[in-house]
Amino acid sequence: MAAGEPARRVEELRKLIRRYDYHYYVLDDPLVSDSEYDRLYRELEELEGAHPELVTPDSPTQRVGGEVLEGFGQVTHSQPMLSLDNSYSEDELVEFDRRIARAAGQEGPFDYVTELKLDGLAVNLLYENGTLVQGATRGDGRTGEDVTANLRTLRSLPLRLQDEELDPPLPAILEVRGEVYITRSGLEAANAQRLTDGEPAFANPRNAAAGSIRLLDSSITAGRPLKIVLYQMLAGETALLSGFSRHSEVLSYLRKAGFPVNPLWKACRGIDQVIDFCREWAQRRAQLDYNIDGVVVKLDDLRLRERLGATSKAPRWAMAYKFAAEQARTQLIAIDLQVGRTGALTPTARLEPVFLAGSTVSNATLHNEDEIERKDIRVGDWVWIEKGGDIIPKVVAVDTKARKPDTEPYRMPENCPVCGSKAVRPPGEVVRRCTNASCPAQIKERIWHFTSRGAMDIEGAGPALVEQLVDNGLVHDVADLYSLKKDQLAALERMGNKSAENLLAQIEVSKSRGPARLLFALGVRYVGAIAAQLLAERYGNLIAMQDATKEEIEAIEGIGQVIAASMAAFLAEPRNRQLLERLEEAGVELGCAPAEKVEIPAEGPLAGKRFVLTGILSKFTRSEAERLIKERGGKVSGSVSSKTGGVIFGEQPGSKLDKAKKLGVRTIDEAEFLRMLDQK
């Protein structure tokens, strides 16, 4: 055999196998028999075995990597993975359509693409030169987990894309998004196997898929019947999308490149056709072999999409239509009260367990006193529950016909169920609050909030541990966390030396989370993550902030009266000032010196001026324009007032331009805007 012979045969086999995979998994139209496929696959394996130097990571035989991971790496998404706005009725779809017409400044009918909304977990995939290099989960939308090794095991996912006859050709870097899921029949088969192996069955396909993708050992993932479909291509730096004008073209392109795309999408003209599609699949969804929880409606026109942009949470050009939630009927055993960190008493329903939409429900939220009264929910009632658009089960109605005669309307107690102090409900408010700031329940909740993810992020300090810390008198407030000793921790239940060390290390690193996180962690009422960030930016240092007046705080951009009053009241309290001092003594970073504080450039040609954008600019997108203005010290807002420094308008400006003219505000066209940017 000539030296180049095996290399050539290996390439040939891989090409064939990829082609057969494509026909089997993507086109759903096998070219060869299973036995023929297996024969080629084995031949490839044998050749690679004999010539290890020919093995490449994108070979079809290399789906299962050898090693077990220690943990997953973090991946920061190049563009955030947003969620979608939800709608639950046809009226809301019509409203969505109208909103688009308003924002676009043109009349419909618009072209939409409707896709089934598969119930799985979202992933982001990165291909370099046609080869899969990274796959990540959604995570919090900004950063997710690197689950590449597990995604590689999905047979329907190409490790290498096919680039012949592709127009436009594959870009060097391609980023796509899709959904990993398990079919109903796949779950059934897997569960049958698990039961014979003495393992518990998976409760539902979604959790089975999510769990499988987060296994550290990808050889186990390989045995799970995971599938994937792709539905989005990111513009990325390649500006590849300039080669496309429609989402429907993108879907066809993805399929040609070798990606599985759910075939049941449809191009719709006008919202009525969208509604027909939604109706049809609400009817027919039981016929599918996979779970869907709705329909995703997207504008087809990519340029129009870009013009509409996105809010911080969701794109404005898409909408998820959710099918009516399933309901179940069960008995209400009790109404328990939970005490939150502000003392708020929140009622929760304890239910006779009942299976609903993939899980067994035994608790449900009741929101507040008024909600219970409105629906006249009584202990002992038969109630209807459903899992709403989110996942949280709620009581939707009482089956009054089944009500027993001896039940009584629910009355919320006037005392805290934990400490017995008076719980009062100020007139005009919906919540009743425990008035005792030292209520153990409140203390626990405050500390738990302090340690939680968006706050000081102290891993290992969950509710169970906090409960023990407070009950054993080791911790009375958040500052006490920083004087905990290893021996004290190791003596607690379910804590050993190892856990104690880990926790202390986490507490140590939390000291340098910075002033914004710390301020949010303190849990001042109305001061959420955003307000805390603004305050930290303004003062740099929490000690410097202590002498701020309510008026001074209120002057901060983005902070209103309510937050300012709450913040000032907190700072005026001597106990809180002591708390800050104690935190500082413990070594917690209260922020940088005021001199170093980060500020929007006070210099710059646009300093201190506020601009409004309207219409389409030819040279930049909206967000680029915003960034350019901010870099030069200016600000961007959404609506025109007499204080606006200028209205920058492009093609097809909206009503904002009219308003600017009426108010005598300066109007700036794109050419002038460019000149402004240049004078630096």
Partner DNA sequence: CGTCCTCGAGGTCA
Partner DNA sequence: CTCGAGGACG
645, 609 in Cβ contact below 8 A?
A: yes
C-alpha to C-alpha distance for 139 and 123, rounded to whole angstroms: 9
Q: How far is the CB of 288 from DNA (least distance, A)?
A: 17
Cβ atoms < 10 Å from Cβ of 580: 20
Cβ atoms < 10 Å from Cβ of 105: 15
Nearer to DNA, 377 or 657 (CB): 377
Two tokens, residue 344: 């708020």
Distances (CA, A) of 468 to 152, 425, 440, 450: 43, 30, 11, 16
Nearer to DNA, 501 or 585 (CB): 501
- Whether residue 117 lies in the annotated active site: yes
Helix/strand/coil for 8: helix
Q: How far is the CB of 392 from DNA (least distance, A)?
A: 4
Q: How far is the CB of 201 from DNA (least distance, A)?
A: 7
DSSP per position, 142-199: SEEEB-HHHHTT-TTS-SB---TT-SSPPPSEEEEEEEEEE-HHHHHHHHHHHHHTTP
**Helices then strands, each counted (H, E), the chain:** 24, 22
Q: How far is the CB of 469 from DNA (least distance, A)?
A: 10
Question: What are φ and ψ of residue 582, in 5° steps?
Answer: -65, -40
Nearer to DNA, 49 or 462 (CB): 462
369, 448 in Cβ contact below 8 A?
A: no
**Beta strands 393-398 and 382-387: pairing type?**
antiparallel
Nearer to DNA, 164 or 390 (CB): 390
628, 591 in Cβ contact below 8 A?
A: no
Nearer to DNA, 144 or 258 (CB): 144
Q: Which of 562, 642, 558, 565 is nearest to 600 (CA)?
A: 558
Q: How far is the CB of 231 from DNA (least distance, A)?
A: 13
Q: How far is the CB of 491 from DNA (least distance, A)?
A: 9
Nearer to DNA, 309 or 462 (CB): 462
- Give the residue carrying structure tokens 């599609």: 277
Q: How far is the CB of 390 from DNA (least distance, A)?
A: 8
Q: How far is the CB of 273 from DNA (least distance, A)?
A: 26
Two tokens, residue 128: 């370099």
Query: Of 15, 117, 227, 656, which is the active-site residue?
Result: 117
Nearer to DNA, 140 or 471 (CB): 140
Chain contacts with DNA (rule: CB under 7 A): 70-71, 119-122, 137-140, 144-145, 200-204, 206-208, 210-212, 214-217, 348, 358-365, 391-393, 453, 459-465, 493-500, 502
C-alpha to C-alpha distance for 228 and 147, rounded to whole angstroms: 14
Nearer to DNA, 320 or 640 (CB): 320
Please provide the size of the chain in residues.
Answer: 680
Two tokens, residue 18: 């990829």
**Beta strands 345-356 and 382-387: pairing type?**
unpaired
**Partners of residue 422 on adjacent β-strands:** 415
C-alpha to C-alpha distance for 363 and 361, rounded to whole angstroms: 6
C-alpha to C-alpha distance for 395 and 356, rounded to whole angstroms: 13
Q: How far is the CB of 319 from DNA (least distance, A)?
A: 15
301, 110 in Cβ contact below 8 A?
A: yes
C-alpha to C-alpha distance for 151 and 69, rounded to whole angstroms: 14
C-alpha to C-alpha distance for 523 and 510, rounded to whole angstroms: 16
Nearer to DNA, 216 or 543 (CB): 216
Nearer to DNA, 177 or 433 (CB): 177
Two tokens, residue 383: 């109630």
C-alpha to C-alpha distance for 432 and 418, rounded to whole angstroms: 14
Check the CA dihedral 90-95-100-105 and report its sign. positive
Q: How far is the CB of 467 from DNA (least distance, A)?
A: 8
Nearer to DNA, 49 or 463 (CB): 463
203, 116 in Cβ contact below 8 A?
A: no
Q: 483 Cβ partners below 8 Å, 6+ apart?
A: 586
Q: How far is the CB of 381 from DNA (least distance, A)?
A: 18
Q: How far is the CB of 209 from DNA (least distance, A)?
A: 9
Q: Which amino acid is at 39?
A: R
What Rg value do the Cα atoms of the chain yield, rounded?
Answer: 29
Nearer to DNA, 513 or 630 (CB): 513
C-alpha to C-alpha distance for 153 and 157, rounded to whole angstroms: 8
Q: 164 Cβ partners below 8 Å, 6+ apart?
A: none
C-alpha to C-alpha distance for 479 and 492, rounded to whole angstroms: 19
Question: What are φ and ψ of residue 134, in 5° steps?
Answer: -155, 140
Active site residues: 117
